[in-house]
Amino acid sequence: MTELEFKLLLNNLAGRCHSELGRQETKNLMPLSDLGAMRASQKLIASFQDALIQGIDYDFSELCDISFLFDEGSTGIFDYEELKLICRNSSLATTVSESVAAFDELPLAQKIVKRVIPLPQFRLAFQRIFDPEG
């Protein structure tokens, strides 16, 4: 496969991603030349497919990298869209983290899911701020 064909493949793949994070990560993809890495990747994908078969399904489409909001150069003041982004990410991270036990029989998927950092304090703060009676 030529470099041009591979870039077209990546663009096609990015267009099929449901989340912004997926589209960002697609840019970092490259062909694997190591057979061991290929097999490890296949096992990880199979583990998440098994999770779907077992009914373990989360909508990760809203999940994205929000680290840029907390960089040293940032002011710490967020507009509404940035606040919504933080809220969605913290809510999803907390929900997923609370159900890590559902992945007990899928250790490869569980290892990835455990890397999601729960932020329950953010979710509670957003609920208090945006609650109609808040």
At 9-65, the pLDDT tens digits run 888 888 888 778 788 888 888 877 888 888 998 999 899 899 999 998 887 777 788
Is the pTM higher than 0.75?
A: no
Token pair for residue 120?
A: 């329950």
Residue 111's φ and ψ, nearest 5 degrees, are -60, -40
pLDDT score recorded for residue 128: 82
Mean pLDDT of the chain: 83
In 3D space, the residue among 112, 69, 60 whose CA is nearest the CA of residue 88 turns out to be 60
